[in-house]
Chain A
Amino acid sequence: MIAIIDYGVGNIFSLCSSFGAIGEEAVLTGDPAVVRSADKLILPGVGAFEDAARKLRESGLWDVVVEETAKGKPLLGICLGMQLLFEESHEYGVHRGLGLIPGKVVPIADEVPAGTKIPHIGWNGMHFPKDKPVSPLFDGLEEGDCVYFVHSYYASGCEADTIAITEYFAELTAAVAKGNVYGTQFHPEKSGDIGLRILKNFAQM
């Protein structure tokens, strides 16, 4: 069973129903006991980093996520949930993240030419690093397949763990993996058949 961690952020209707669409059992839960009993974890998130980090702490699930992933349980962070995996974020101040993957979250605006539209919203292609094998998260996918992004910040300094980038007037981190911890900056639950395939790949790990 997959636990979708409910800590009070974001619109997770589609994420919850997408597992039904691919025939996988997933429950939305904020109960630490249920999270601990799950086989795999999904950390969703929409909104501001500081607020989400605070809610995750207050829910008592911060330590649960750290402890369960340390045991080797697969975790997939999505969008802001992916950003929370890093050491710190520079969104309105500096805030500490879960520290499961080295790197920091910084404004896209710092990387792209002045006048570039922010947030980066829409369907954009994924490109896999040439110097490593394609991640099992992307089984059945092809270089250039499009996924749906909505974000104003991105993960930087995580090249060693990057499994996909996207091009938006600069190279932005699209997905990361370090051992059993995965993250996608894009929304697989809004990325059509390609996104559902990614969720299926994660569910079957």
Chain B
Amino acid sequence: MITKHIIPCLDVKNGRVVKGVNFAGLADVSSPVSLAKYYSDNGADELVFYDITASAEGRALFSDILTEVARTVYIPLTVGGGINTVADFDRVLKCGADKVSVNSGAIANPDLIREASRIYGDQCVVLSCDIKRVDGQFRLFAKGGRVDTGLDAIEWIKRGEANGAGEIVVNSIDTDGVKKGFDIEMLKAVSDAVSVPIIASGGAGCAEDFVDLFRAIPTMDAGLAASIFHFGEVQISDLKKLLADNGIPARQIRSKK
């Protein structure tokens, strides 16, 4: 059986992981390379890096760091943040990314998904969406969730799929940071609308929230979270065991021989 993916997400600014990270035994808790290795060894199925740097120097630094990460861990890497053109795809893919996540860049340039998927294949293009309920509608937000685009998120995601997005990240602004569980209602609505893999994001507060997610929506492919992993509230290896105990297929890491 194909397994459900557990994905830690790391925000990188000027080559360092932002948001405090709290792990015993990690000498450098803001090094993307050390953290990538830590997560990979503990059972992460994939890693997502968001480059939240604004400056050109920061971008260059991010490319160097990404190259180093890709030389250190051998699991799929997804990169997002500041992806506005096909040239941005090229830049991060050459550094060892496997998939590229687009968000505001696709809103500014709706042809971006189509162009990139023609060149690199659908499996390479991830459409990431920040969604919030407005007037009874699932509304698409841009610029890190700060700007209401006025667009219906479900329609936007359907269009993205038709244009060649191979995966959809659904980040619920309504549940993000609340730590009371994933936004099942919103995720179900997206799941019913498209047939490409969907990654749930926003709201995980404990390991049981992932069990609830995959139970409520058996076709959901992956769960993504940041702080609960970074602060050690949930160990990915423990989460994987909990999923397996609940009959949810999850990849277990074997102890090294």
Which A residues are closer than 8 A to B by beta carbons? 11, 13-14, 17-18, 20-21, 46-47, 115, 117, 119-125, 140, 142, 145-146, 148, 150, 167-168, 189-193, 195-196
* Residue numbers in B under 8 Å from A142 (CB-CB): 254
**Contact pattern, B 154-171, Cβ under 8 Å of A = 1, otherwise 0:** 000000000000110000
Evaluate contact between B45 and A123: CB separation under 8 angstroms.
yes
Residue from B74, B98, B123, B196 within 8 A of A191 (CB atoms): B74
Evaluate contact between A18 and B74: CB separation under 8 angstroms.
yes
- How many residues on the B side are at the interface (Cβ–Cβ under 8 A)? 33
Residue from B3, B195, B254 within 8 A of A123 (CB atoms): B3
In Å, the complex CA distance between A150 and B123 comes to: 8
* Residue numbers in A under 8 Å from B254 (CB-CB): 142, 145
Q: Tell me the minimal C-beta distance from A60 to chain B in angstroms.
A: 25
Evaluate contact between A11 and B196: CB separation under 8 angstroms.
no
Evaluate contact between B74 and A46: CB separation under 8 angstroms.
no
Chain B 61-81 interface residues, beta-carbon cutoff 8 Å to A: 70-71, 73-76
Evaluate contact between A148 and B121: CB separation under 8 angstroms.
no
A interface SS class = mixed
Determine whether B29 belongs to the interface, using a CB cutoff of 8 Å to chain A: no
* Residue numbers in B under 8 Å from A122 (CB-CB): 2-3, 5, 45, 197, 221
Most A C-beta atoms less than 10 A away, residue of B71, B76, B197, B254: B76
Q: Tell me the minimal C-beta distance from B91 to chain A in angstroms.
A: 13
Q: Tell me the minimal C-beta distance from B15 to chain A in angstroms.
A: 19
* Residue numbers in A under 8 Å from B76 (CB-CB): 148, 190
* Residue numbers in B under 8 Å from A168 (CB-CB): 2
Given contacts A146-B3, A148-B75, A190-B75, 4 further A-B contacts (CB under 8 A): A13-B95, A115-B195, A125-B3, A192-B73
* Residue numbers in B under 8 Å from A148 (CB-CB): 75-76
* Residue numbers in A under 8 Å from B196 (CB-CB): 117
Q: Tell me the minimal C-beta distance from B102 to chain A in angstroms.
A: 17
Evaluate contact between A14 and B3: CB separation under 8 angstroms.
no
In Å, the complex CA distance between A60 and B176 comes to: 54
Most B C-beta atoms less than 10 A away, residue of A119, A121, A190: A121
In Å, the complex CA distance between A145 and B257 comes to: 14
Q: Tell me the minimal C-beta distance from B122 to chain A in angstroms.
A: 8
Known contacts A121-B197, A167-B1, A190 near B166 by CB under 8 Å: no
B43's closest neighbor in chain A, by CB?
A192
Q: Tell me the minimal C-beta distance from B90 to chain A in angstroms.
A: 11
In Å, the complex CA distance between A189 and B75 comes to: 8
Evaluate contact between B1 and A21: CB separation under 8 angstroms.
no
Q: Tell me the minimal C-beta distance from A13 to chain B in angstroms.
A: 4
Evaluate contact between B2 and A17: CB separation under 8 angstroms.
no
Determine whether B93 belongs to the interface, using a CB cutoff of 8 Å to chain A: yes
In Å, the complex CA distance between A20 and B96 comes to: 15
Q: Tell me the minimal C-beta distance from B254 to chain A in angstroms.
A: 7
B67's closest neighbor in chain A, by CB?
A13
Determine whether B94 belongs to the interface, using a CB cutoff of 8 Å to chain A: yes
Q: Tell me the minimal C-beta distance from A165 to chain B in angstroms.
A: 13
Known contacts A11-B98, A17-B96, A146-B251, A192 near B1 by CB under 8 Å: no
Known contacts A13-B94, A122-B221, A123-B2, A47 near B121 by CB under 8 Å: yes
